[in-house]
Each structure stands twice: as structure tokens, then as C-alpha cells.
């Protein structure tokens, strides 16, 4: 059921639209108490609810040529960061939950993830390929501080000398520098820190529960100082919202020690389109249509494209302008825009399975 449009403190979505797979829908109506009071009740800060999910498998496989890894693990479903543009929001529809506020507040934690990973790495014939954490939802979202599922996964990968890549926009990753630095010495890890812009006020409404830009830059510095190869992701670039920050983010990240830079333009698949447009109308009514027109310019006249090779960077004059700005800035700063440090696949050691005899002690 879709609630009245509200701005909930600490949350990104202004709507809680029904998922596209739900068989029933409901609408709000005036129950006699008055619309103002109903909106006020709905606007109270919604709490995060953690659901424990017993996963049956843990490694997902990727076939997209746009992405640089073949395997990924998502410790959580849903993400407290609440980024309005998140392309993973529609996955909550498969759970009969809303891609709106539900995606930010109804979080599923896979507490058996490390056990499953250990089992899958120990299967006969397993061939190592870098595993990515953060392909769908952020592995360092706020509940990771207490759940520690990401930490457990890294411990398994570290013990097995298995290569790893991480994508996050949360400085909580610095908690695990002890493990990541040890893996970096063996050329087993690359880290990607997403910094879409440098404005705190914009971050509060665009990525409300992610780390501040200053803390993300601090994470880049701490990771780099520990010898962990760190790439900055200027992502996603949204025209007339954060595109002015491209050069400044790259400059600040290079100063903090980043070795590589990359970017994507905003993607609006499925329900994300309506959520994003409502967010625009709520926070930027003066430029909402201007933003959408420019997005359509980069998507061949549509609001979203799914074609490989185009969905991440867009097409057309404006997309080309972004590409040139990004590459010229990287060249000026000495940041690599294409080449990441190679990870070593040859050191992998399958986990040792406990024997029945060992289990007696």
C-alpha cells in the first residue's frame, strides 16, 4: 500500500509504492481524522527492521560485459543508505515489499553467508575468480556494524587467499583494514569508494544514511595509507544535480591517495523511475523536468536503457561531454581511468573441511 508522500528524516524515498509483482493494491483515503494528521503520522521516522534470511546459496554469477567481475556476494537485501537512485531497489518487489521506503527499512541479513561461502569454495572443481562485495547493496551499510556479516566473509576469503573487490560508500570499511591490508600485501584486494559529490546538504537527501563525503575521503586516505589499492567511483552522475562535482571529487580523491577513477551515469530501471521523479519534484521542483530531459538525452530519448555498453555511461552529446571531462581530469591528476591493479588468482587454497574425527574434540 502506498502511503501519503512524506519526507521522513534520514530516509531517501518520498514514496512507498507497491512492488510491480504484488497482486493487490490499496490507496489512502480520508478517514475523518484529516489529511494533515495522516501525513504527520506517516512522516514519523520509520524504524529499520532486520529480518534474518537463511540463504541457500551465496555466490552470484555475472555475465554482463559492463562489470569487471564474474562473481559477487550480497550479505544483505535492502540497504539503509537510502540512496534514491539505487538500481537495486526493484529487487524488493520480489519479496512483495516496496522499492520505496521498504527497501530502506526492511533489511534482510544473511547470517549464514560465511558458512555457505566456505562450503562453496570447498567444492571440487571450484575455480577462483575475484568475488565482489557490494554489487547490489552496500556491504558496509549501518547494520554491518553489529551484524558483521561482511567481516565474516572477508575472514573466509583471507584464510583461503581468495581475491576480493569491494564497493562501498561507507567509512565503516576502515574497521576491516587489518584484514584488507594483509590481503593487499598478497595482491588479493581492490577497494572502490563511491563519492558522488562533496556537498553535505545534498548528501542528506540523496544518500541520507551513507557516510559524509569528508568521511569517505578519510576512508580513501586510511585505506591508501595501509597499502590497499583504492579507486574512487564518481557515481552516479546526475545532470544538474551533482555533475558540477566531477573534477572536485577526483582532485580530492587523488590527494587522499586514490590510484584509479571510474564513473557511471544515473540509471532508472523499473520502479526507480517514479521514485526518482517524485524525489526530484519534492526537493528540486525548479529543475525537475530539466534533469529528466537531460537524462533522456543520454538514454536515446528514453528514461532508461538496458543495453550493454550504454546503460552505465549513456550515449549522445552530454554523455560524451562527461566522458571527456572525466578522462581529461584523470589524465591531469595522474589517475588511471582504466587499469586496476591485477589480482593474483594463483594463491587460492580451498578451505579445510573438518573431519568427523576432528568434530569429536
Question: Average of pLDDT values for 330-343?
Answer: 88
Under the banding of pLDDT at 50, 70 and 90, the label for residue 13 is confident
What is residue 2's predicted lDDT score, i.e. its pLDDT?
47
Provide the pLDDT for residue 36.
54
Query: Which one of 9-13, 17-21, 80-84 scores highest in mean pLDDT?
Result: 80-84
Residue range 154-204, pLDDT digits in tens:
999 999 999 999 999 999 999 999 999 999 999 999 999 999 999 999 999
61's grid cell: 554469477
Cell triple for residue 70? 564474474
Residue 78 scores a pLDDT above 50? yes
Q: Tell me: the pLDDT tens digits for 26-51? A: 454 444 545 555 455 555 678 999 99
**Which of residues 240 and 70 earns the better pLDDT score?**
240
Per CATH, the number for 35-338 is: 3.80.30.30
pLDDT at 314: 94
237 membership: H or E segment, kind and range? strand 230-237
Q: What is the pLDDT of residue 306?
A: 85
- The percent of residues above 90 in pLDDT, for the chain, comes to 78
Name the DSSP class of 15: -
**SS3 category, 264:** strand
Let me know: does 252 contact 217? Beta carbons within 8 Å: yes
Neighbours of 40 (CB within 10 A): 12
Please compute the mean of the pLDDT values over residues 67-86 and round it to a whole number.
Answer: 93
359 pLDDT exceeds 90?
no
> CA–CA separation, 94 vs 98, rounded Å?
9
Looking at the DSSP bridge assignments, the partners of residue 61 are: 71
Q: What pTM was estimated for this model as a whole?
A: 0.89
Amino acid at each position: 500500500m502506498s502511503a501519503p508522500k512524506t519526507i521522513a528524516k534520514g530516509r531517501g524515498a518520498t514514496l512507498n509504492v507497491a512492488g510491480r509483482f504484488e497482486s493487490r493494491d490499496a490507496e489512502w483515503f480520508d478517514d475523518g481524522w484529516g489529511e494533515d494528521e495522516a501525513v504527520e503520522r506517516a512522516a514519523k521516522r520509520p524504524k529499520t527492521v532486520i529480518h534474518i534470511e537463511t540463504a541457500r546459496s551465496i555466490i552470484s554469477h555475472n555475465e554482463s560485459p559492463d562489470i569487471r567481475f564474474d562473481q559477487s556476494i550480497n550479505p544483505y537485501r535492502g540497504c539503509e543508505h537510502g540512496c534514491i537512485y539505487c538500481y537495486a531497489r526493484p529487487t524488493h518487489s520480489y519479496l512483495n515489499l516496496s522499492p520505496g521506503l521498504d527497501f530502506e527499512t526492511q533489511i534482510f541479513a544473511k547470517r549464514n553467508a560465511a558458512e555457505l561461502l566456505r562450503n562453496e569454495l570447498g567444492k571440487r572443481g571450484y575455480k577462483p575468480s575475484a568475488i565482489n562485495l557490494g554489487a547490489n547493496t552496500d556491504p558496509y551499510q549501518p547494520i554491518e556494524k553489529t551484524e558483521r556479516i561482511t567481516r565474516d566473509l572477508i575472514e573466509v576469503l583471507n584464510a583461503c587467499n581468495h581475491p576480493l573487490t569491494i564497493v562501498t560508500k561507507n567509512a565503516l570499511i576502515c574497521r576491516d583494514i587489518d584484514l584488507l591490508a594483509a590481503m593487499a600485501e598478497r595482491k588479493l584486494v581492490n577497494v572502490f569508494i563511491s563519492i558522488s559529490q562533496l556537498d553535505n546538504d545534498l548528501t542528506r537527501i540523496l544518500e541520507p544514511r551513507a557516510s559524509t563525503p569528508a568521511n569517505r575521503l578519510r576512508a580513501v586516505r586510511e585505506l591508501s595509507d595501509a597499502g590497499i589499492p583504492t579507486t574512487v567511483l564518481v557515481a552516479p552522475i546526475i545532470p544538474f544535480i551533482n555533475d558540477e562535482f566531477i573534477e572536485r571529487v577526483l582532485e580530492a580523491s587523488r590527494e587522499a591517495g586514490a590510484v584509479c577513477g571510474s564513473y557511471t551515469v544515473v540509471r532508472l530501471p523499473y520502479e526507480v523511475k517514479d521514485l526518482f521523479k517524485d524525489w526530484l519534484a519534492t526537493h528540486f521542483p525548479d529543475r525537475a523536468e530539466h534533469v529528466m530531459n537531460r537524462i533522456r538525452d543520454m538514454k536515446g530519448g528514453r528514461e532508461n536503457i538496458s543495453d550493454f555498453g550504454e546503460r552505465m555511461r549513456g550515449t549522445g552529446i552530454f554523455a560524451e561531454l562527461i566522458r571527456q571531462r572525466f578522462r581529461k581530469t584523470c589524465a591531469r591528476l595522474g589517475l588511471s581511468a582504466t587499469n586496476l591493479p591485477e589480482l593474483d588468482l594463483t594463491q587460492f587454497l580451498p578451505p579445510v573441511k573438518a573431519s568427523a574425527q576432528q568434530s569429536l574434540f
